[in-house]
């Protein structure tokens, strides 16, 4: 599995605190622990407070690292908008503290806080750019 490049999140501390306030709980997971598996039913997104989570895609029985996410990033943000089953797995690559948020709660939060939409769009755009860069680096 090739290594993904590092990335600095684009979420404001205010938005991070708001997401923490709607979280069901926070927990620690160990290196190698699975948050969710490709094909799983999606119910939650995860805000990383400390640590790192790797997004992995299976292809022809090989695992490919798509992106790594760090403090202040949301794992599974696309699951909020995607009606299909999860298309990747998320695995802690080191001991990690996470906030677990129900997707339905996150959607309600977004509908009540329109001002956060632009910030989240910028964040999602930055994630797409990061994945594109990783794909280019892996093909070179």
Instruction: Return the closest-CA partner of residue 5 out of 56, 65, 49.
Output: 65
Q: Is pLDDT of 121 > 90?
A: no
Tokens 């501390």: give the residue: 13
Structure confidence at residue 4 (pLDDT): 42
Degrees, nearest 5: CA angle 117-119-125? 100
Domain boundaries, the chain: 13-139
- CATH (residue range 13-139): 2.60.120.10
pLDDT tops 50 at residue 138: yes
Taken in order 42, 119, 47, 129, the sign of the CA dihedral is positive
What is the sign of the dihedral through the CA atoms of 14, 46, 59 and 7? positive
Quick: pLDDT tens for 91-106. 999 999 999 999 999 9
Q: How confident is the model at residue 140 (pLDDT cuts 50, 70, 90)?
A: low
Whole-number Å distance between alpha carbons of 52 and 45: 15
């Amino acid at each position: 599995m090739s290594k993904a490049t590092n990335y600095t999140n684009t979420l404001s501390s205010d938005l991070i605190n708001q997401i923490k306030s709607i979280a069901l709980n926070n927990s620690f997971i160990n290196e190698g622990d699975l948050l969710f598996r490709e094909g799983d039913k999606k119910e939650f997104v995860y805000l990383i407070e400390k640590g790192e989570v790797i997004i992995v895609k299976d292809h022809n029985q090989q695992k490919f690292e798509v992106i790594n996410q760090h403090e202040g990033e949301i794992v599974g943000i696309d699951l909020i908008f995607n009606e299909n089953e999860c298309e990747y797995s998320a695995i802690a690559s080191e001991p990690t503290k996470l906030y677990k948020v129900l997707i339905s709660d996150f959607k309600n939060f977004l509908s009540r806080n329109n001002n956060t939409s632009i910030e989240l769009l910028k964040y999602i755009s930055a994630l797409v750019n990061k994945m594109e860069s990783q794909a280019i680096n892996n093909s070179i």
